[in-house]
Structure 1
Amino acid sequence: MALIQDLIGEVLCRVPVKPLLRFRCVSKDWCSLIDSNVFAKKHIRTALEFGTGGGLIVNDEAGRCYVVDSEGVDVGSDEAVAVGIKDPLMSLIHGAEVLGAANGLCCVAKSEMSNILLFNPMTRKGREILVVPAPICGFGYDPVNDDYKVVKIAEGKTQFFVFVYSLKTNSWKRVLNVPSKVSFLSKWGVFAGGALYWLASKNPGKGLDTIVSFDLGLEQFKGVPLPPADNKIVNTNSRFMVPVGELLCIFDSYPNHSIDVWLMNKNGSENPWYKAFTVKQPRRHGSEFLRPLAFSKSQTVLLLQVGNTKLMWYDLEKKTFKNVGIRGIRMNFYAYLYNESLLQLAEDKPPQKPLQDKTIQKPSQDEQQKKQQKKRYRMFL
């Protein structure tokens, strides 16, 4: 009997999330299995390994959020259907900015990033995090500790103040190893491969010349050199970062409507970048920005957002574009890739206390420390 249950688990972990949510009605055993965090983690590891289960979370200009499931993002699809997120979750995320997505969870922020919500677009479950405002923020998954983390950065008169929220402990702590003599040029960190990345300047006031990364496992900062650029294009208007799967991607835009696409090497070589390909925009889309969202399973086709109104597939070998209609949205939108998952956000620890203005509490390491911990760190904004 145990063997049969194991085989059922192996089969189900390869099934997409949408039917799995329906399969919970098959029996109590199936419901218990599908609802377990052990199964949810195995399911998303399998999806990431085989490059399946990638959907889109979409913001429109009116502040509404939609979900496009993995079927709509399939390379053979000519049309994607955006389904609006409904209450009670919609009331919490309406008007929010999407900070990013990682391993099945999305992070959005409201009220100048003073109010952050983590949620699962498939299960429609979320957890709200109350924090003090800070202009620089990022969200990602820590594979070393199997944890999700939010990073907030505020600049004081002489130093940066960096705080990290852990979903596993449901608490914040201050990071003391912070960069100095650097200016962050982007307020949202881009998550890729276990780290967050920001465009930055080592010489404040002199423009973009480096990337600052934060390793979520080690909780340490380091500098990353930029890829070389033709015509010395080194500003945030012509160069920007996006995650494409597990890879960090940089787009360099040129006046002739061509775009160089750089991907970060995984092997840690001396040169961290290689030019993957160059995209020549069709004349009819020459004045609109292109933003990569995802590669196909074969890695030969790239899903792009074109402007604020459409999606397109770009064939890297044939150098051709194919339109993807998106039904359900009638206004400008911004799309983000996420991985469909069954991950739960139930409170498994006592709720955190809201952070008081300009004050943040350092988390304890175990129950005994929780009782003794009284020290607070003060953030100067």
Structure 2
Amino acid sequence: MEDFPQDLILNILSRLPVKLLIQSRCVSKLWCNLVDSQCLASMHLRQGSEEPSLLLVACPTGKASITSLYLLKEDRGTLRTSHNATMQILNSRKYGPWCSCNGLLCFARHGDGLLSSRHDGRELVFICNPLRGDVLTLPPITTISPVPVGQKYGLGYYPSTKEYKVVRIFYHAFDGINDQYSFGAEIYTLRSKSWRDVRSTPPYAVTGKPVFAEGSLHWMINSELHPNKTEHVILSFNIAREEFSVMPHPDIGLKNHDMLALVDLGGSLSLVDSSSDKHILIWVLKDYNKRCWLREYCISIKAPEGWSGRSNNGHIRVIGFWEHGEILLTSSEDSFFSFNPRTDALRYVHVSVLPHDIARSEVYGHTGSLVSLKAYDLTAKIDVNAVQDSCNLEATAQKLEQ
């Protein structure tokens, strides 16, 4: 292998599946340094050839405090978990994933950011790469919200500086005279030592989990708190400029925005409309700069046998793309359905028995990556030789891009 040109090796490796590359780290120290290099991780992301997969986040029962992450794979029409957990996270019973970016997951407390009444500022946030088994715990948040609910987190990436940033939105204060809230935000850049305030403040409260696309994080606005001011708009946060703004979404004539949700479909920001009892509509933002939305998918809900009629389909959650270019959906009853855009067919997907010690679980669409969090851990010991190898690889990669 040492006789092959380094640029050729990088080009070949950048096209292979992440799981296979991670397994190959055991071959030799050379292989390990190649796979662990930030250069190869960046090239692999740019190739965009990694197939989307499914990740089951399983929360423990009782007093147990270990969250387990399993890969899900379809086997003859049945979703089955990997035999062993892909990774396990200690002391994480009250935590769950809020956002994903480049194969990394951002974990914070479950639910709507609800904090204990005895909250003392030691709220933890951590980032993990499930396929690599890396976990990075961030420093405690610095600004304590006087309102112990409604915190939101997001994770984004700025490619020009190769920086990952975690954003936290929180209630800053309540104006009793005008009966309105004000909001604040702080940001943490990986490799930094502490959180810092964001000068741009969010104008509205947000709801749900964010979607990172086109260099920005996106949230649905909480229509209950802002019933007359937020029609047809989404709150976005530009990771590079660190600025909040609002952007329009399709005017679909809904007064109840609870029936709308954002989802990532193949890297595109998409809006799910579950207001009908006959179908689910998915709008895709085709041109981000021109804010051009197209109604891309219409998923009939009448096809699956045993489906119960409802006034709307708010109980349905669109997970995202998975195997064979199909779109996976799940209901509140933990039933799964797969929609084939080529045939407009909707089929039921059986789920095998889950591990017995799971109290709560949720399935997420996930695209693996080689991004290593060890490079961002300020407490980690640095291998000087590995750093030098990485620098050499980075120089080679720059030549390839010229």
TM range (shorter): 0.7 to 0.9
Counterpart of 2:53, as a letter, is: G
TM-score for both structures, normalised by structure 2: 0.74
Task: Quote the offset at 1:99 in angstroms.
Answer: 0.3
Match among 308, 313, 316 for residue 290 of structure 1:
316
Whether the 8 Å contact between 1:170 and 1:351 is mirrored in structure 2 is no
How do residues 39-78 of structure 1 correspond to structure 2 at under 5 angstroms? 39-46=40-47, 48=48, 50=49, 52-60=50-58, 62=60, 64-68=67-71, 72=73, 78=77
- Cα deviation, 1:152-188, whole Å, max 9, x if unaligned, reads 12232374321111114354222112244xx314053
Are 2:328 and 1:303 aligned?
yes
What is the CA–CA distance in structure 2 between the aligned matches of 1:9 and 1:110, rounded to whole Å? 39
- Cα deviation, 1:92-150, whole Å, max 9, x if unaligned, reads 43331210111011111138472111001011110111225551322222234322111
Whether the 8 Å contact between 1:233 and 1:252 is mirrored in structure 2 is no
1:131 paired residue number: 141
What is the CA–CA distance in structure 2 between the aligned matches of 1:77 and 1:147, rounded to whole Å? 41
TM-score for both structures, normalised by structure 1: 0.77
What is the CA–CA distance in structure 2 between the aligned matches of 1:166 and 1:123, rounded to whole Å? 21
2:255 paired residue number: 234
Q: How many residues align?
A: 338
Counterpart of 2:263, as a letter, is: V
What is the CA–CA distance in structure 2 between the aligned matches of 1:201 and 1:328, rounded to whole Å? 36
What is the CA–CA distance in structure 1 between the aligned matches of 2:211 and 2:103, rounded to whole Å? 16
Task: Quote the offset at 1:78 in angstroms.
Answer: 2.8
Counterpart of 1:153, as a letter, is: I
What is the CA–CA distance in structure 2 between the aligned matches of 1:140 and 1:285, rounded to whole Å? 38
Whether the 8 Å contact between 1:244 and 1:292 is mirrored in structure 2 is no
| Distance change >3 Å, CA 93–CA 55, structure 1 → 2 | farther
Segment drifting more, 278-287 vs 98-107 = 278-287
Counterpart of 1:53, as a letter, is: E
What is the CA–CA distance in structure 1 between the aligned matches of 2:224 and 2:327, rounded to whole Å? 35
| Distance change >3 Å, CA 292–CA 203, structure 1 → 2 | closer
What is the CA–CA distance in structure 1 between the aligned matches of 2:91 and 2:216, rounded to whole Å? 27
2:354 paired residue number: 329
Match among 267, 276, 295 for residue 275 of structure 1:
295
Are 2:274 and 1:253 aligned?
yes
2:8 paired residue number: 7
Counterpart of 1:99, as a letter, is: W
SS in 1 for 2:26: coil
SS in 2 for 1:213: strand
What is the CA–CA distance in structure 1 between the aligned matches of 2:257 and 2:59, rounded to whole Å? 22
1:116 paired residue number: 125
1:312 paired residue number: 337
SS in 1 for 2:269: strand
1:377 paired residue number: none
Are 2:367 and 1:339 aligned?
yes
